Amino acid sequence: MKPFLTTAAILLTASTAFASGHGNPGAHFIENWDTNGDAIVTLEEATERRADVFNAFDADSDDILNAEEYDQFDEARANDMKENGMGAGKGKNNPANGMAREYTDQDSNGQVSREEFIASVPDWFAQIDKNSDGVVTKDDFAKR
């Protein structure tokens, strides 16, 4: 596997950490997606991290996650959520599902290009940014 795999595992945990409601919701997400340490995640930071996740699973570096690569990605996400005691509620409105194939395969051809994966970031980010202020902070994970 690529050297990014460890990073991807951390990022996968971060992408699902806010779904659990245990402890300090969102802290792990902020810790892993905030690239400059200012306790907020911007759309640019989310886009950068999503590119890291894509790179980790694009085994043949062809800028496409084919069905096999995406299956590995889905399996890694599912295992990570299970290991961390997190459920992934159904539907696009659950931000933990924002990287699911059904939401990133925009042309429904069974594979996801880098462009599709990255193009889905703004919608995913908006789901997490509960107060619509353009940044994600721990406040976005508070129960409403």
Q: Is residue 5 included in any domain, yes or no?
A: no
CA quadruple 137, 138, 141, 143: dihedral, nearest 10: -130
How confident is the model at residue 135, as a pLDDT?
Answer: 97
Q: What is the number of structural domains in the chain?
A: 1
User: How many C-beta atoms lie closer than 10 Å to residue 40's C-beta?
Assistant: 18
Q: Is residue 106 included in any domain, yes or no?
A: yes
How confident is the model at residue 29, as a pLDDT?
Answer: 80
How confident is the model at residue 59, as a pLDDT?
Answer: 96
How confident is the model at residue 89, as a pLDDT?
Answer: 54
pLDDT in tens, the chain (144 residues): 444 445 555 455 444 444 444 556 678 788 889 999 999 999 999 999 999 999 999 999 999 999 999 999 989 888 876 775 555 555 544 566 788 898 899 999 999 999 999 999 999 999 999 999 999 999 988 765
Q: Which residues of 41-66 are buried (b: 16+ CB within 10 A; e: fewer)?
A: bbbebbeebbeebbbbbbeeeeebbe
Q: Is residue 64 included in any domain, yes or no?
A: yes
Q: What is the C-alpha separation between 12 and 50, in angstroms, rounded? A: 10
Q: Is residue 41 included in any domain, yes or no?
A: yes
Per the structure, the complete domain to which residue 120 belongs is given by 10-141
Q: Is residue 48 included in any domain, yes or no?
A: yes
How confident is the model at residue 32, as a pLDDT?
Answer: 82
**pTM summary value:** 0.78
Q: Is residue 2 included in any domain, yes or no?
A: no
Tell me the CATH number at 55.
Answer: 1.10.238
Q: Is residue 1 included in any domain, yes or no?
A: no
How confident is the model at residue 80, as a pLDDT?
Answer: 72
Q: Is residue 101 included in any domain, yes or no?
A: yes
